[in-house]
């Protein structure tokens, strides 16, 4: 699959595209109505480029059809459900059939093998097990490769290091920031590089500059690849680097990528950067046609020196919306806004400060009191702060620091686009 001639890849993609378009039209009322409203029929898709006739699917469409409205199969065929952050309080849901899970394990196994991991390896998964797709995605792929999996999950870092040493972990699965944090902690706790047998790191779920990656590699004594994916499409597995690390190989037999201008949605030429749009070609439970990932990147179709002929995407360069990744968790300012709006003692004005303390990302939410007299009551201030923190935790899934400031002290951005996010993280640090 990974070394097919490009003509063959395109033939396979077209065959699968035509099938999935008809499948969506016949099984997902949302797509049926959308096609009918513009007079589009599945048979109008005659070439791969005809995919552009289909209107894009967005996160808002997922939200409007929450939780299972976009499923194409009866509930009896769904064997797994995952979710990630939505733009408001409700998560974005994704379902899998048995075949979807099999396909997921297969594409994961390919990426894991491309990074050089084999059945001789012992892999410690430090992604959180749960609704997040990272842990279980890697888990089944690693088992398929035959590696020994340690489902350590996230957190409890001292124990992570102990397991890493005692179990002879060779492969670390984590976000780059958590990997860096583990490296720092190992140093602080007096571990020596020789205590570990680490060899390979499969990082992902958030961006990482090559500078930061080199630092992590040095500190932990491993070689790390970058891996990309998103829950809506399947989870990790959409693309990943091989050992040459010259772009992330796209699982093109299951996902059809396009790069478009994020404003006009016009196609961008090969090699030009823009927003990535992806059509799932084989998914059964929740196929998506032209899903707007909001991730900015570029794609080359030049075969890689490793022998793989699949399209390669560059590391994600940014987002075309305001989503933030904080400690591997997707955070939308609109989620924070939805919490703030519910609390009558504070005004709708807020600022978000994201900092990197050591290798730990922190989020501070500054909110403004409506009534300045509250500032004199420590107890009331403390209670209000804790209430806001607890509500934010429920919606965001991470802890935020809450700072209450006096009335009318937060900038008003009259006439301009509000700049409420101050990202102070130095990604090269
Ligand atoms: O982060 C899936 C994943 C898990 C990928 C583990 C790799 C490893 P979500 O939580 O839905 O899914 O977040 C998806 O995270 O749209 C990107 O903005 C960002 N993202 C994911 N991988 C990378 C990466 C998982 N390698 C969103 N570099 C995506 C930069 C990434 N950003």
Is this model's pTM higher than 0.85 or not? yes
Residues 344, 347, 348: CA angle, nearest 5 degrees? 110
In this predicted model, what pLDDT tens digit does every residue of 160-212 receive, in sequence order? Answer: 999 999 999 999 999 998 998 899 999 999 999 899 999 999 999 998 888 88
Q: Ligand 1: distance of its center to the CA of 278 in Å?
A: 14
Around Cβ 77, how many Cβ atoms within 10 Å?
A: 16
Q: Exposed/middle/buried for 416, CB within 10 Å: 0-12, 13-18, 19+?
A: exposed
Tokens of 402: 């809450």
Q: What span, in angstroms and rounded, lies between the C-alpha atoms of 148 and 171?
A: 10
Which of 204, 210, 226, 291, when mutated, tests ligand 1's pocket best, judged by the most ligand atoms within 8 Å of its CB?
Answer: 204
Omega of the bond prior to 241 within 30 degrees of 0, cis? no
Closest protein CA for atom 1 of ligand 1: 205
CB of 204 within 6 A of ligand 1: the answer is yes
Nearest CA to ligand 1 atom 22: 205
Residue-level pLDDT at 377: 87
Q: Torsion-angle region of residue 206: left (phi > 0), alpha (psi -120 to 50) or beta?
A: beta
Beta strands in 214-326 (DSSP E): 223-230, 235-241, 248-250, 255-260, 274-280, 291-297, 299-300, 312-313, 318-319, 324-326
Distances in whole angstroms, Cα of residue 147 to Cα of each of 113, 118, 121: 10, 6, 5
Q: Closest Cα to atom 27, ligand 1: which residue?
A: 230
Pocket test for ligand 1, best of 62, 104, 137, 228 (most atoms within 8 A of CB): 228
**Residue 236's pLDDT is what?**
98
In the three-class reduction of DSSP (H, G, I as helix; E, B as strand; rest coil), residue 174 is classed as: strand
236 CB under 6 A from ligand 1? yes
- Whether residue 313 has its Cβ less than 6 Å from ligand 1: no
293 in ligand 1 pocket by Cβ < 6 Å? Answer: yes
Ligand 1 centroid from CA 340, angstroms = 27
In order of 138, 198, 299, 300, 312, the CA distances from 309 in angstroms are 23, 30, 13, 10, 9
Alpha helix stretches (DSSP H) within 249-377: 333-340
- The predicted pLDDT at position 418 comes to 73
| pLDDT in single tens digits along all 429 residues of the chain | 999 999 999 999 999 999 999 999 999 999 999 999 999 999 999 999 999 999 999 999 999 999 999 999 999 999 999 999 888 778 999 999 999 999 999 999 999 999 999 999 999 999 999 999 999 999 999 999 999 999 999 989 999 999 999 999 999 999 998 998 899 999 999 999 899 999 999 999 998 888 889 999 999 999 999 999 999 999 999 999 999 999 999 999 999 999 999 999 999 999 999 999 999 999 999 999 999 999 999 999 999 999 999 999 999 999 999 899 998 889 998 899 889 989 999 998 899 999 988 778 999 999 999 988 888 889 999 999 999 999 999 999 899 999 999 999 998 876 666 788 999 987 655
Binding site membership of 297 for ligand 1 (Cβ less than 6 Å):
no
Atom 14 of ligand 1, nearest CA residue: 230
User: What are the structure tokens assigned to 44, written together?
Assistant: 């109008």
- The answer to whether 169 touches 122, Cβ cutoff 8 Å, is yes
* Nearest atom in ligand 1 to 132's CA: 10
Cα–Cα distance between 404 and 239 in angstroms, integer? 42
DSSP string computed for 387-411: HHHHHHHHHHSS--EEEEE-TT-S-
Structure tokens at 300: 């080359």
Distance CA 285, CA 295 (A): 24
* 397 Cβ below 6 A of ligand 1: no
């Amino acid at each position: 699959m990974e070394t097919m001639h490009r003509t063959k890849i395109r033939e396979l993609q077209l065959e699968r595209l035509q099938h999935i378009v008809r499948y969506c039209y016949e099984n997902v009322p949302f797509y049926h109505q959308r096609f009918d409203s513009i007079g589009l029929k599945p048979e109008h898709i005659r070439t791969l480029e005809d995919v552009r006739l289909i209107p894009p699917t967005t996160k808002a469409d997922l939200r409007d059809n929450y939780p299972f409205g976009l499923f194409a199969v009866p509930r009896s065929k769904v064997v797994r459900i995952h979710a990630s952050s939505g733009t408001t309080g409700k998560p974005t849901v994704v379902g899998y059939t048995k075949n979807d899970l099999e396909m997921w394990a297969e594409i994961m196994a390919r990426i894991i093998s491309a990074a050089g991991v084999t059945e001789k390896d012992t892999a410690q998964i430090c992604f959180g097990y749960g609704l997040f797709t990272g842990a279980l995605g890697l888990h089944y792929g690693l088992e398929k490769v035959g590696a020994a999996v340690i489902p350590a999950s996230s957190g409890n870092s001292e124990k992570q290091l102990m397991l890493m040493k005692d179990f002879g972990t060779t492969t670390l699965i984590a976000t780059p920031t958590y990997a860096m944090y583990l490296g720092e902690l190992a140093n602080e706790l007096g571990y020596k590089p020789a205590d570990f047998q680490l060899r390979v790191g499969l990082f992902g779920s958030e961006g990482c500059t090559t500078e930061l990656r080199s630092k992590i590699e040095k500190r932990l004594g491993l070689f790390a690849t970058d891996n990309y994916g998103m829950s809506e499409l399947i989870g990790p597995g959409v693309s990943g680097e091989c050992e040459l690390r010259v772009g992330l190989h796209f699982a093109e037999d299951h996902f059809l990528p396009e790069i478009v201008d994020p404003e006009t949605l016009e196609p961008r030429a090969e090699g030009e950067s823009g927003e990535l749009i992806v059509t799932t070609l084989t998914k059964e439970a929740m196929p998506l046609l032209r899903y707007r990932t909001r991730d900015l990147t570029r794609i080359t179709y030049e075969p890689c020196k490793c022998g793989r002929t699949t399209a390669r995407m560059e590391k994600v360069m940014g987002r075309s919306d305001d989503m933030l990744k904080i400690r591997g968790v997707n955070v939308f300012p609109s989620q924070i806004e939805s919490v703030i709006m519910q609390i009558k003692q504070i005004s709708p004005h807020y600022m978000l400060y994201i900092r990197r303390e050591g290798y730990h990302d922190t989020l501070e939410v500054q909110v403004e009191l409506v009534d300045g007299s509250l500032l004199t009551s420590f107890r009331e201030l403390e209670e209000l702060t804790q209430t806001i923190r607890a509500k934010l935790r429920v919606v965001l899934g991470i802890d935020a620091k809450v700072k209450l400031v006096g009335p009318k002290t937060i900038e008003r951005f009259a006439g301009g686009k509000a700049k409420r996010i101050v990202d102070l993280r130095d990604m090269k640090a």
